[in-house]
Amino acid sequence: MNSFKWLIRILLIFFLSQFSFSADTITQHHYIKDNKDEVIVSGGKIFALGFFSPGSSRNRYVGIWYHQIPGKTVVWVANRDNPIKDTSGILRIDGRGNLVLFQGNRTLPVWSSNISIASTMNTIAQILDSGNLVLLQNDSRKTVLWQSFGYPTNTWLSFMKIGFSLRTGMNQSYTSWRSPDDPGVGNYSFKMNPGVSPQMVLYKGSVPLWRSGTWTGKIWSGIPEMTQNFIFRDSFVNTDDELSFSCDTKNASILTRWTTNETGVTQRIIWDNNARHWITIYSTPKEQCDFYGHCGPNGYCNPYLGDFECTCFPGFEPKSPEEWFIRDGEGGCVRKLGISMCGNGEGFVKFPHVKVPDTAADALVDMSIGLKQCKEKCLRNCSCMAYASANSETNGGVGCLTWHGDLMDARAYTETGQDLYIRVDKNELARYTKKGLLQKKGVLAVAIGSSALVFLILVAFLRCLVRRQRNAERTRKRKNIFSFTTFEDSLGENEIDESTRNGEFPYFELSTVAAATNDFSSDNKLGHGGFGPVYKGVLFNGEEIAVKRLLNSSGQGLQEFKNEILLTAKLQHRNLVRMLGCCIEGEEKMLIYEFLPNKSLDSIIFDESKRSMLDWKKRFEIICGIARGMLYLHQDSRLRIIHRDLKASNVLLDATMNPKISDFGMGRIFGEDQTEGDTKRVVGTYGYMSPEYAMQGHFSIKSDVYSFGVLLLEIITGKKISSPFPDSPCLNLVGHVWELWREDRAMEVVDSTLGDSYSADEILNCIQIGLLCVQEHATQRPTMSTVVSMLSNEATLPSPEQPAFIEKKSHNGDGLSTSEEANSENIVSITMIQAR
């Protein structure tokens, strides 16, 4: 009888552990209890969430660990500073929809996700295969309300970001545990330090312990081991509204993490699935030179010196020779006496392969000049001690970093790192130059030189061989895996590859995109663009994305796909939509963008119920934003671009209603001094096209200005260019505005929902600018830079003449056929007109 009972019990436990609790979600009805040893496990059985006790402690915590790796490697802890002393813990969704940890029958929670949620929301918590615990709204959009990746503990997982975002309010760093028995907030923290040039810093309390060095465009100058390779795809984002770094893997099934232990040792670790153990692939601080300021101010740490790793930069001497003698460099170095460093024949000595000095204080950055001007700038300013390229591996070096105080924490490497130029006086300069001269003269030096030359040629030859092989392999692999041929041949793959290698935008795995969009479910569909449907998705790390999927991979769509990749990847501006990457696998070709929650401008200004969301102040900001974005395309970007399809549905709005221009599929790149062209294939949208473009296929930056003018009038009036006007049936919006303007009644066109929120002068100004932009003759229209100054009241406005308003009837008979009007649901859309 007894043993029968046991058997039933064992079977029951087995049954329960196998089935009921292997779910990956916690809901209002399904919660987990400590005393039943319940856990939830992610879909791919990679991570589990449940209760645990760390080390030899008996305290209970809720945490996330690897499900299939023995030894419970905990990567996240919910109640890290609030242990439960018994096993009465319950993790559940409370009445308000928050994820909450209770102890027994106590009413105050031990821990809570603690966000404000509308009372009607139905939420669930789900553990994902990335190790991210997300609290979702359980409806078709599955909006992420809270996520554990936003609150790292001592582990930095792939796809988790460290840094800040103004757009999402993200501000993330992680801190070590207190001890192996106590996951509470410990002494060591790992943060992104914005400074004049961003660095990642490991702090002990508030004192830096180690520093990554500055970003060179490819790596952190102080982490030479950390290069992009076939496993890692680290991504560094440094834009106006986001500064972050994440250590992603190319294949999400590779388990890897960064962590800082209780004594401050920071490691990047990867799971070896064959040997079944963790391997440390990077660890810091490891040697003396890794410790922040090991050789003090103006000291230079060089671990490859035999005797003592600290030296002083040229022109400096040890502050305390006694300490220096007993191998203690922390006092650092001071300027040698009697040296003139101001306008007295100084120069620079180059130190190659350096982790450049700390940029947190006394440093300046100027991204607008190159290395040459940087040298001049530094030489001119007597407080300038040293300079370096601010982004040494981007396009062969851009920007200028200068230091104007003590040089802290510089160290040497044998390769990677970057070049640092130290200011020296004329005597020192002569010594360094002489050294070079002597070498050139000596016979020995010549011998060394020539053998070095032979060696260099050999190395170069071998490198070349290896690279060729690698390239061939890469191409072969692409072809095999992605059956890439047609795409590659027509697309100039090299260019795309180049951009990818430069880290300008990454490739996404198809599996990643499919998981993010719920397998491209119709619930996630946002609309339909010119070359295929657009989906909303949520990445592993909780980041929301918009995915544009190319439907038929031939002809025009493909051409636009290519165009869009090449254009968008090279453009970065606050008022342009940011492309996060692309996905090309087999037949699938997709573009991945940042997701903009407020959809497109047309979905608001043309919607009776929503247009009052935008008062005049906001609308004016939107107009100025669009103008700045267009100015950037026309003039300030690395490429000169004509958009060719600017319209309300191609302007997207972010969370703060900041406008972002999208859809460069039709854009044309121009050379430095070319500003116009002709095309047989007229693309664009009826009503927004300038007359010369619609009729003759002749386009220029001025045809974009025309579209801008139409858009501006639409924003002011809240009416579509195509709206009918019962009073003047043969006119479109432009004609209508012109008629009223002539009769001094222009204020009558203003959107009535604006109420009194505007100044009449400002609006009249804008209407006038709008009319100037839609002048019949391209030469009479202002350029975007003039428009920008007009908007800021810095330029006087000429009087507009009769604009080119096109009568609908005659136009339809012109042999132009329009595809159906853009649906206002669309987040991105292309409407096409094909000239016959």
Ligand X SMILES: *[C@@H]1O[C@H](CO)[C@@H](O)[C@H](O)[C@H]1NC(C)=O
Options 179-187, 464-472, 607-615, 708-716: segment touching ligand X (CB under 6 A):
179-187
Taking CB under 6 A as the rule, does residue 728 contact ligand X? Answer: no
Options 258-266, 325-333, 386-394, 553-561: segment touching ligand X (CB under 6 A):
258-266
Task: For ligand X, give the closer residue by CB, 27 or 765.
Answer: 27
Strand ranges (E), 767-831: 817-818
Q: Which of 174-177's residues contact partners 24+ apart within 8 Å by CB, and which partners?
A: 174/260, 175/260, 176/260, 176/261, 176/262, 176/264, 177/54, 177/80, 177/153, 177/261, 177/262
Taking CB under 6 A as the rule, does residue 97 contact ligand X? Answer: no
Q: What single letter denotes the amino acid at residue 329?
A: G
Residue in 645, 654, 704, 751 annotated catalytic:
645
For residue 207, count CB atoms less than 10 angstroms from its CB and return exposed for 0-12, middle for 13-18, buried for 19 or more: exposed
Instruction: List binders of ligand X among 114-133 (CB under 6 A).
Output: 114, 122, 124
Q: How far is the CB of 481 from ligand X (least distance, A)?
A: 8
Options 143-151, 177-185, 321-329, 795-803: segment touching ligand X (CB under 6 A):
177-185
Taking CB under 6 A as the rule, does residue 87 contact ligand X? Answer: no
Q: How far is the CB of 300 from ligand X (least distance, A)?
A: 22
- x-or-dash string of contact with ligand X, 215-254, rule CB under 6 A: ------------------------------------x-x-
Taking CB under 6 A as the rule, does residue 163 contact ligand X? Answer: no
Nearest one of 109, 112, 263, 108 to 177, comparing CA atoms: 263
Taking CB under 6 A as the rule, does residue 262 contact ligand X? Answer: yes
Q: How far is the CB of 833 from ligand X (least distance, A)?
A: 41
Q: Six-digit token pair at 153?
A: 């503990």
Options 105-113, 325-333, 368-376, 733-741: segment touching ligand X (CB under 6 A):
105-113
Instruction: List binders of ligand X among 385-444 (CB under 6 A).
Output: 404
Q: Six-digit token pair at 191?
A: 């943060």
The number of C-alpha atoms within 13 Å of 558 and in the hemisphere containing its C-beta is 16
Task: For ligand X, give the closer residue by CB, 241 or 509.
Answer: 509
Q: What is the DSSP string of 708-755?
A: HHHHHHHHHH---TT---TTSTT--HHHHHHHHHHTT-GGGGS-GGGT
Write b or e for each residue in 268-291: b if 16 or more Cβ atoms lie within 10 A of its Cβ, otherwise e. Answer: bbbbeeeeeebeeeeebbeebbbb
Q: How far is the CB of 385 from ligand X (least distance, A)?
A: 10
Nearest one of 167, 174, 171 to 244, comparing CA atoms: 171
Cα gap 417→625, rounded to integer Å: 39
Instruction: List binders of ligand X among 482-511 (CB under 6 A).
Output: 509
Report the 10 Å Cβ neighbour count for 23.
17
Q: Are 373 and 401 in contact (CB under 8 A)?
A: no
Q: How far is the CB of 261 from ligand X (least distance, A)?
A: 4
Taking CB under 6 A as the rule, does residue 269 contact ligand X? Answer: no
Q: Are 234 and 159 in contact (CB under 8 A)?
A: no
Place of tokens 């209002």: 28
Options 180-188, 298-306, 408-416, 715-723: segment touching ligand X (CB under 6 A):
180-188
Task: For ligand X, give the closer residue by CB, 376 or 636.
Answer: 376
Please identify which residue in 97, 109, 537, 803 interacts with ligand X, judged by CB under 6 A: 109
Task: For ligand X, give the closer residue by CB, 105 or 368.
Answer: 105
Q: How far is the CB of 558 from ligand X (least distance, A)?
A: 24
Task: For ligand X, give the closer residue by CB, 139 or 807.
Answer: 139
Taking CB under 6 A as the rule, does residue 46 contact ligand X? Answer: no
Task: For ligand X, give the closer residue by CB, 186 or 782.
Answer: 186
Q: How far is the CB of 357 from ligand X (least distance, A)?
A: 15
Q: Are 619 and 131 in contact (CB under 8 A)?
A: no
Taking CB under 6 A as the rule, does residue 451 contact ligand X? Answer: no
Q: Are 173 and 190 in contact (CB under 8 A)?
A: yes
Taking CB under 6 A as the rule, does residue 68 contact ligand X? Answer: no
For residue 467, count CB atoms less than 10 angstroms from its CB and return exposed for 0-12, middle for 13-18, buried for 19 or more: exposed
Cα gap 355→693, rounded to integer Å: 54
Options 173-181, 489-497, 694-702, 789-797: segment touching ligand X (CB under 6 A):
173-181
Q: 607 catalytic, yes or no?
A: no
Task: For ligand X, give the closer residue by CB, 518 or 679.
Answer: 518
Taking CB under 6 A as the rule, does residue 802 contact ligand X? Answer: no
Cα gap 425→348, rounded to integer Å: 8
Q: How far is the CB of 511 from ligand X (least distance, A)?
A: 7
Cα gap 499→490, rounded to integer Å: 17
Cα gap 611→715, rounded to integer Å: 10
Task: For ligand X, give the closer residue by CB, 118 or 443.
Answer: 118
Please identify which residue in 3, 56, 105, 799 interacts with ligand X, judged by CB under 6 A: 105
Taking CB under 6 A as the rule, does residue 383 contact ligand X? Answer: yes
Task: For ligand X, give the closer residue by CB, 291 or 686.
Answer: 291
Please identify which residue in 35, 171, 340, 450 interacts with ligand X, judged by CB under 6 A: 171
User: How many Å separate Cα 511 from the centre of its chain?
Assistant: 21
Please identify which residue in 49, 349, 363, 364 interacts with ligand X, judged by CB under 6 A: 364
**Where do runs of H (alpha helix) occur along 393-509?**
426-441, 443-482, 485-491, 493-501
Q: Which of 199-205's residues contact partners 24+ apart within 8 Å by CB, and which partners?
A: 199/358, 199/359, 199/360, 200/162, 200/245, 202/260, 202/264, 202/266, 202/284, 202/285, 204/264
Taking CB under 6 A as the rule, does residue 164 contact ligand X? Answer: yes
Options 176-184, 217-225, 315-323, 423-431: segment touching ligand X (CB under 6 A):
176-184
Options 174-182, 560-568, 662-670, 729-737: segment touching ligand X (CB under 6 A):
174-182
Q: How far is the CB of 554 from ligand X (least distance, A)?
A: 26
Q: SS3 string of 78-141?
A: CCCCCCECCCCEEEEECCCCCEEEEECCCCCCCEECCCCCCCCCCEEEEECCCCCEEEEECCCC
Task: For ligand X, give the closer residue by CB, 22 or 818.
Answer: 22
Options 129-137, 172-180, 677-685, 687-695: segment touching ligand X (CB under 6 A):
172-180
For residue 510, count CB atoms less than 10 angstroms from its CB and return exposed for 0-12, middle for 13-18, buried for 19 or more: middle
Please identify which residue in 87, 168, 261, 320 interacts with ligand X, judged by CB under 6 A: 261
Nearest one of 620, 590, 571, 419 to 517, comparing CA atoms: 590
Task: For ligand X, give the closer residue by CB, 20 or 253.
Answer: 253
Task: For ligand X, give the closer residue by CB, 27 or 723.
Answer: 27
Taking CB under 6 A as the rule, does residue 723 contact ligand X? Answer: no
CA distances from 200 to 211, 217, 236, 289 (A): 6, 14, 11, 17
Instruction: List binders of ligand X among 181-210 (CB under 6 A).
Output: 186-187
Taking CB under 6 A as the rule, does residue 521 contact ligand X? Answer: no
Task: For ligand X, give the closer residue by CB, 279 or 305.
Answer: 279
- Residue 763 three-state SS: helix
Taking CB under 6 A as the rule, does residue 178 contact ligand X? Answer: yes
The residues, any chain, with a CB within 8 Å of residue 736's CB and separated by 6 or more, are 725, 728, 749
Backbone angles phi and psi of 237, in degrees to 5 = -115, 125
CA distances from 379 to 42, 126, 375, 424 (A): 59, 58, 6, 10
The size of the interface with ligand X (CB under 6 A), counted in residues, is 27
Catalytic sites, residue numbers = 645
Residues that bind ligand X (CB under 6 A): 27, 104-105, 109, 112, 114, 122, 124, 138, 164, 171, 178-180, 186-187, 251, 253, 261-263, 265, 364, 381, 383, 404, 509
